[in-house]
Structure 1
Amino acid sequence: MLERADSRRDRARRRTRVAGAALTAPLGLLVVLPVSPAVAAEAYGAPTTRCEITDPRLPELSGLVGVGDGMLAMNDGGDRVEVYALDGACTVGEVRTADVDPYDPEDLAVGADGTVWLADTGDNEQKRETVALIGLRTDGSSTLTRLTYPDGAHDAEALLLAPDGTPYLVTKEVLGASSVYRPDAPLADGATVPMTRVLGMGFTLTGTPGGPVGRAGQLLVTGGAVSADGQRIALRTYTDAYVWPLTGSDVTGALSGSPVRVPLPDSPQGEAIAFAGDERSLLVSSESLPAAVTLVPVAGDLAPAPPAAGDDGAAAAAPAEAADPSRPVGPVTAGLIAAGVATGLIWIGGRFRRRQA
């Protein structure tokens, strides 16, 4: 049995304490390997609202998967496993459950065999000894595999399921220095499987507004998706989506390349991302009720464009090939990021304290 889920009040207290701790984190110990995104000036068109989720059972939408013309969705947290099937109008149909008490589910994926995978990987206080992947099989049975990090606890909200079935977790880091982890062995029900850190990524300030924590939201990875045809990967922050081409199941190689960056519409707490039925357009949504499911339609070539001449780097990261993985963030960049993080975390700490009153 997994660790029991905390109440919303307990989770709010946790997040407030984490906010305070993050403000005192030593900047010199954080390492960033920048991604090299290009703004999707032509690759994606204007976002439109596909539908609105109004069902009171989905107040904290975190995981989303496109399935044909419909979707699968799940809440952040909760004290039981529940996956909701939505049609194209966001109306809830079938609800799939499992006799598992999760700790903090954050993301969702579907395997080639139809198994629905929940990433029970949330860890705001970074104190869990294990995280878990919960599988809902098509025959109604379920599996639970525990995972361990090689370097201590992390908070992760993004699950990438490669076409060959290998899962990858992408951590959520306050200064954008996310890590990618992969299990060392196949998933097995009841097993505890160690993971290896296979890649370090660096997300930088983009200038896109949105999210609950100000500029810090531009750095925090909150969700991930792999297209059903296995040709693309997407990660999102509170404000932007990043899309990479995928060859085979080489997720690490894909994420090491240059993505297309897609500024997303402002939303209260955007954590959900999926590929639409065409496997190229994006579906994104946020915690809240009603929650708009926004379609970001593909409009052109998804290959990243070269940076514009004279770009000063304020809205995009430095080229990946010029980055040194062992080099810490520069003092100016660190100062700018820290200022944004501090502002956002002070705000969110106050917000959760007000909720408890």
Structure 2
Amino acid sequence: MLVLLFVGLLAGAGWVPASATPSASADPNLPVDACVMNDKRLNELSGLVADADHWYAINDGGTKSTVYVLSKECTVEKVISGPTDPYDVEDLARSADGTFWLSDTGDNDKKRTTVALIALTPAGKTTLYRLTYPDGPHDTEALLLDKNNVPYLIAKNPLGVADIYRPAGALASPGPTALEHVGAIHLTSTQTPGGPIPPLVGSVTVTGAASTADGSVVAVRTYTDAYLYPVPDGDLLAALGKQPLRVGLPNEKQGEAVAFEPNGALLSASEGVGQPIRVLAGAADLVAPKPAPAAGKGETDGAPAEAPARKAGLPTLPAIGLTVAILLVFLLFARRRKRT
């Protein structure tokens, strides 16, 4: 009885168990298969972007800067290839002018002295931008571009703390340009099945990222889940520091790719021939900012202030104090009743 009461008091004080995700409740809808990727040239599909007519995909690794142009039935219609030979491409983004940005940031052995971004035009011209971390090598599989085309790299960490980096100044070609550490995303394990490693680790390992065309919503994915962040004012870094909404991407063999359709649907894909590209309709609408209600009698102007994000498993000090105080009162009362 005391245990149940203690758990109830902790829950009422705002504590959540360490196994919970630091996000709002997941949407019950699950992604559905759009088509199956059977082309052997894309056996390690690792990054996706989309427009109204096509999907664009890259392989993990590779010896050329290559983007595959896909129909929405998973057939390769065209290949865009540039001369730059990458080391280990992991993710893909696209700027408003149509330039593809290949994130040549994979480093499984953490031995690279530089990583790189490769800008690839639809005509096949490439520009190389080398980058250096301020704190040693990282294996990074996620790339985002903000509204000003500033790139953000999100490192891969099986312990659930995904460090965020961006260039400390304007990109130089070939560089290197120094990166600066600007924040981190904190994730905790979920029970969503899938991935090449157990969910305890795979569910907190960041493998890709994507942004809607207007930049109002971004997604950061792990092997098993996607985290959706609204970016109402264009401040990407501030958005990544707030509470996301988690949606499950279950049973993907090695899920690394994620993208948004122009209508806000979320795409996800896994490495491996014969794996589906899946779609979750209306994903961006789940977190898109809603217009603030007009101020009226008894209301204040503007939208209500957002509560600060709280790390899962870490109660605030006031919550701990309140819980302990109530528990002590209960124990004293129970002890007195026992004596009588």
Q: Is 1:182 the counterpart of 2:154 in the alignment?
A: no
Please give the per-residue CA displacement for 1:203-244, whole angstroms capped at 9, x wherever unaligned.
111111110001210110000001111110100000000000
User: Relative to 1, partners in 2 of residues 1:322 and 1:125: Cα closer, same or farther, differing over 3 Å?
Assistant: farther
- Residue among 207, 214, 218 paired with 1:229: 214
Aligned pairs for 1:113-152 within 5 A = 113-152=97-136
Q: Is 1:294 the counterpart of 2:288 in the alignment?
A: no
Q: Is 1:318 the counterpart of 2:312 in the alignment?
A: yes
User: Relative to 1, partners in 2 of residues 1:144 and 1:248: Cα closer, same or farther, differing over 3 Å?
Assistant: farther
Within 1, Cα distance between the matches of 2:210 and 2:92? 8
User: Relative to 1, partners in 2 of residues 1:301 and 1:95: Cα closer, same or farther, differing over 3 Å?
Assistant: closer
Aligned to 2:77: 93
Q: Is 1:48 the counterpart of 2:42 in the alignment?
A: no
Q: TM-score, normalised by structure 1?
A: 0.73
User: Relative to 1, partners in 2 of residues 1:321 and 1:136: Cα closer, same or farther, differing over 3 Å?
Assistant: farther
Within 2, Cα distance between the matches of 1:321 and 1:227? 33
Structure 2 gap segments, 5+ residues each: 1-17, 289-309, 318-340
Within 2, Cα distance between the matches of 1:290 and 1:41? 27
Aligned to 1:28: none
- Residue among 245, 251, 273 paired with 1:266: 251
Report the RMSD for the aligned CA atoms in angstroms. Answer: 2.3
**Higher RCO (Cα < 8 Å, 6 or more apart):** 1
Q: TM-score, normalised by structure 2?
A: 0.77
Aligned to 1:109: 93
Within 1, Cα distance between the matches of 2:215 and 2:284? 19
Aligned to 2:266: 282
Structure 1 gap segments, 5+ residues each: 1-31, 305-315, 324-357
Aligned pairs for 1:206-225 within 5 A = 206-215=190-199, 216-225=201-210
Q: Is 1:37 the counterpart of 2:23 in the alignment?
A: yes
Aligned to 1:251: 236
Give the secondary-structure state (helix, strand or coil) at the position aligned to 1:135: strand
User: Which amino acid letter does the alignment assign opposite residue 264 of structure 1?
Assistant: L
Assess if the C-alpha contact under 8 Å between 1:167 and 1:183 holds in 2. yes
In terms of mean alpha carbon deviation, does 147-156 or 241-250 score higher?
241-250
Within 2, Cα distance between the matches of 1:105 and 1:299? 27
Shift of 1:300: 8.9
Max radius of gyration: which structure?
2
User: Relative to 1, partners in 2 of residues 1:322 and 1:229: Cα closer, same or farther, differing over 3 Å?
Assistant: farther
Which aligned segments of 4 or more residues in structure 1 are displaced greater than 6 angstroms? none
Shift of 1:41: 2.8
- Residue among 114, 137, 162 paired with 2:146: 162
Q: Calculate percent identity across the aligned residue pairs.
A: 46
Within 2, Cα distance between the matches of 1:320 and 1:200? 17
